[in-house]
Amino acid sequence: MKQVGSILALAALIGMSAPVAANAEISETELQFAHGYPEGNIWTRTAKRYADAIEERTDGKVTVSIAGGGSTGSWDEAIEALQIGTNDMVLESVGTLDRYDPLPGVEAFPYLVRNLDHFRSIYYGDVGDEFFDAVEEATGFRIIGAGYRGARKLSANQPVESIEDLEGLKLRVPPLKMYRQTWEHLGADPVPMPTDEIFTSLQQGVVDGQENPLEYIYSAKFYEVQSHVINTNHVIGAMTFIFDSATFESYPEELQDILVEEGREAMLWATDEMVAQEENYREQLEAEGVEFISVDLEPFREAVTPMREEFPELSEWIERFAEVGDNE
């Protein structure tokens, strides 16, 4: 936390000295764009699509240098780098910002987003716009667009046919409070761990399982070290493009508009692409010998219900998300 505080202080000083050029014309600029996803992954393609659109819309004045595969560090390091200016944009989930304020963590609240229609109604409607504004005010980060990640599922090296089978299961989770508490409530033994350690930890038996959307389970080749995927569908999360807010506001207004418009378009494309590919990921995993198990989700939902009392700071947005209809 001390390191984060130092970075925030430095970022504040940089922001105070940087001129605001909102009314200026777009000039020759190179933006560093970081993400942690492997080549060929849908999010790598989404990043490329966004970068190409920015360059085209600015007639090549703005070029985008993509640093993929975690080459600028872990996702939290990549986001910290936004504050000191060594990264200009990052592709990650909304919930990764919960280390700066609890609010973005609502994206990962279990069983809150009910299905794909509900996801679209939240993030592509008025509630989503207001949520993104609130996240920016709370964290100092501008987020643009929402891409459907697919439902997060549990993978394990043993069958899990009921919530009782989770008892004592050593499970890798992202180093975020929401995920850790979710799996504690479900009876597992969560082990926070960065993404670059998952495969080896599964391989060596440090953990028994992990949880992610199918696209990540497949692209990370977890089928080599996991025998089962359980359709827990506990989180339907949103990917987004993340900018430091003060830096974003220093860009010419025309560039800001382009970044917003093309970012939203890129995430809409990613959502449609994920929907089209999700069943393919299942078929590919089954071809690799992975067995899928469907479970009764009602006990899972009941087990995490007390979490609403444990996150009172999120109660307003939990309620607002839940009240959105599936087809608004």
Mean pLDDT by 10 residues, the chain (328 residues): 42 41 80 93 96 97 95 92 96 94 96 96 97 98 97 97 96 92 97 93 97 94 97 97 98 97 98 94 97 97 95 96 89
The ranges assigned to domains in the chain are 2-7+22-104+116-148+238-276, 153-235+282-312
The two domains 2-7+22-104+116-148+238-276 and 153-235+282-312 share their CATH topology (first three levels equal) = yes
State both tokens at 170. Answer: 């050593």
Q: Which single residue is written with the structure tokens 């996991």?
A: 226
Give 229's DSSP letter: E
Give the 3-state DSSP-derived string for 150-178, with helices as H, strands as E and coil as C.
Answer: EECEEEECCCCCCHHHHCCCEEEECCCHH
Helices marked H in the chain = 2-17, 42-57, 75-84, 116-123, 126-139, 177-185, 198-203, 214-219, 245-250, 253-287, 298-304, 307-310, 315-323
- pLDDT of 23 reads 61
State both tokens at 290. Answer: 């992975």
Task: Specify the pTM.
Answer: 0.87
CATH architecture assignment, domain 153-235+282-312: 3-Layer(aba) Sandwich (3.40)
28, 106, 275 from 235: Cα distances, Å: 41, 10, 16
Interatomic CA distance for residues 188 and 198, integer angstroms: 17
CATH architecture assignment, domain 2-7+22-104+116-148+238-276: 3-Layer(aba) Sandwich (3.40)
- pLDDT of 228 reads 98
State both tokens at 209. Answer: 């399982």
One-letter identity of residue 263: G
- pLDDT of 40 reads 85
- pLDDT of 301 reads 97
Cβ neighbours, 10 Å, residue 240: 28
State both tokens at 186. Answer: 């479900």
- pLDDT of 242 reads 98
One-letter identity of residue 42: I
Torsion of CA 214, 259, 64, 249, to 10 degrees: -120
CA diameter of the chain:
61
State both tokens at 254. Answer: 């025309």
Task: Select from 161, 178, 157, 105 the least CA-distant residue to 300.
Answer: 161
Task: Select from 35, 32, 31, 30 the least CA-distant residue to 71.
Answer: 35
